[in-house]
A and B are shown apart, each in its own frame.
Chain A
Amino acid sequence: MLRAIVEPGFWGSSAVQLAAAVGAVTAIVAGCVGVFTVIRSQSFAGEALGDLGAAGGSSAYLAGIPSLWGFLGVDVAAAGVMELIGIQRARGRDLATGIVLGAGFGLAALFLYLGTIYNNTTGVTVTVLFGSPFTLTPSVLPLVAAFGALALGAIVVLYRPLLLVSVSPELAAARRLPVRLIGALYLFAMALAVALSAVTIGAILSTALLVGPAATALQLTRRPGRAILVAGLIGVGAMWLGVLLAYDSYYWSSSHHGWPVTFFVVTLVLLAYIAARARPARGRAR
């Protein structure tokens, strides 16, 4: 039975083990951070940071700097500019994100162009946008774990005030909580989590894991603590199933063409969200 589902060599493959480990850490961090992203309606900021971080990482790589510093630097800077030009107001938030993303795309175009001229590596754009968990090297695992722990730590420290600020900014302001500071700190935690996953598993998967499982969890339960738990579980489940399917897909046709992990994870995440939305009304969040 099990042999029919899992193709030979799956458990023994070190690439699979690494992809599953990094994917699980990323999914847990993304689920935890993502619940607040969804409550605060900041999906666009998450997606923009993923794109910009990836572009920054590849630019740094082409410039000969370790890409880690490229994407962290770009994302922290981008989060700072977004915060500065007004992401804290719901009205101008989309616009602030869009302006930063547009300008960032422009810069990325230039850096990638220059990098391509001097190094002749057009493939780097593709790798960065559509990165694959199967191409990881074991050295990223401690980094992923360290920065993931940092982002999680920030959420734990901020948890109560962040929740109040996200759900009712007026009440938080009335209680003299530093609304803007908390929002900014959260944005930096999100930048950290997003940038890290964008560079390890690709910008697309980073957004998918940030928004999808959290939005699904918030359809299933309204309690934030439980939603974080459910989001983590959905994320890890989608990631592992995606890795398994991608591994299996190699044997689906005689040409031995492996389908990308990204495709499977993204599809699973979307299906989970649609299923949660379609659920009959009991206890459904409004």
Chain B
Amino acid sequence: MSDQVIQNVIIPAAKVGLLLAVMGGLVAYLTLLERKILGFMQLRLAPRRVGPRGLLQPIADGIKLLIKEDVVPDGADRGLFLLAPILSIIPAFAALAVLPFASTPFELFGYEVTPYITDVNIGVLYVLSITSLGVYGIILGGWASNSKYSLLGALRSAAQMVSYEVPLGLSIIGVLMLAGTASMVGIVEAQRSSAWWFLVPQAVGLFCYFVSAVAETNRLPFDLPEAEAELVAGYQTEYAGMKFAFFMMAEYVNMIVVASIATTLWLGGWMRPFPNVEALAFLDWLNWAHPALSGLFWFSVKVLLILYIYIWLRGTFPRYRYDQLMRLGWKWLLPLSLANILITGLVLVWRNP
């Protein structure tokens, strides 16, 4: 086997496999984390019967969903019904391909391995396009189930995800203008000179992005497609067993993806706070092992923080109504993100005429 093959095929494939495995576990434990945090907010105990302190709960859930009967409702479009969960989970995982978890490459068996799968120069565009494919799974799932609740949920989510795609994309542009590149690694590197990364200059952009991202991932307060009080479970109403688990995993992987994007674009990715201050280099305390580990550490801390805010929102807020959601998207977030672009542009022109 030539070096070429190993470098370009074997190593990326191994990285993909590793990432899929790790993500599967992370998603499972994210559900547990969510239940735990919600439980503490609501003065409950949260799961703690399976394993020590409930730590094996996700595994028990997984086994339960695996061995459940695989129901396909009467009158459902069988092919689409089976296809929908797969369509919703593949884009979710595919978006992970360009996320830079850390930067410094490390040596493994004499080969140089980067701690992310790939870095393409249109990374941001790739993520945007791939994540917007996820809506097909939801629409097809809702349509194919032959249930009115599912259909209503699917229609809601189609409208919601298409509308919020716009402010989501526009809110990123400010960052792209500052960084001057669409490569994920390049964007992170561009934040090295500023103490608070792009968080301060692009705070409005982050706000718009965060709100749209919550809507994109169908989380409370924007979880209309699956509003359990109105539509039972929206597009997932008729799904059971592993197919339901796929939808569920897609939702949580999407959460991780949007949190990672926010981290990369605004929170300096793998960089420690104050990356421009040499005196604080001790914050990279994992450097003694490898700089990539330290990067991974900071990246995870930031992602976890954003995920925590996600769960916190869910624990606090009521749910928007459909028309109000649309109004918020088109009347507030869209102008706000456009204004952000305009002001960013003006500032850039003023600084470097």
**Do A and B assemble together?**
no
Residues of B within 8 A of A (CB): none
